């Protein structure tokens, strides 16, 4: 088993020193799903939510979250992100919204946390904007789908079973 990079020899939390690492192109993709009642999904599709364009608001929130991940997760490095996108796919079976984020940087550390944060905040924004009509929504399946760059190279998650 590998040693945890954010724990020093005394067992204390630390920010990893990346000053000696090479600057390389790095990319990460994450996904998540917010399930909801079919009638809630109809509001999303039609744009008839009382709060307006819930997808648009969630997209902006996700992008902002990717850019501010270092302010939310204590040991993340501030990064000069070069790309952050958040995309949505509506699903009738099961009813809900699949959220996918892609983040890129040329830097000394990866952007996995930024992509995961973008997806999480986009899903939470959807929940916030729709909770007046559906408090039973759930967010699940937030995970890293793929990453490229850095010493550890490429990673690609296995496809999910069950269509999500």
Catalytic annotation, residues: 128
22 bridge partner residues = none
Nearest Cα residue to 39 out of 31, 52, 26, 48: 48
């Amino acid at each position: 088993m590998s040693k945890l990079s954010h724990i020093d020899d005394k067992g204390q939390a630390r920010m990893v020193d990346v000053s000696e690492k090479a600057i390389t192109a790095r990319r990460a993709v994450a996904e998540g799903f917010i399930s909801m009642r079919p009638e809630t999904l109809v509001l999303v599709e039609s744009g008839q939510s009382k709060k307006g364009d819930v997808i648009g608001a969630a997209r902006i929130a996700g992008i902002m979250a990717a850019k501010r991940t270092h302010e939310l997760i204590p040991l993340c490095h501030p990064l000069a992100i070069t790309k952050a996108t958040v995309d949505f796919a509506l699903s009738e079976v099961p009813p809900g919204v699949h959220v996918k984020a892609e983040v890129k940087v040329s830097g000394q550390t990866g952007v996995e946390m930024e992509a995961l944060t973008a997806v999480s905040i986009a899903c939470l924004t959807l929940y916030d904007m729709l909770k007046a009509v559906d408090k039973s929504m759930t967010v699940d399946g937030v995970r890293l789908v793929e990453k490229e760059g850095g010493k550890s190279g490429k990673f690609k998650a296995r496809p999910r079973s069950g269509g999500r």
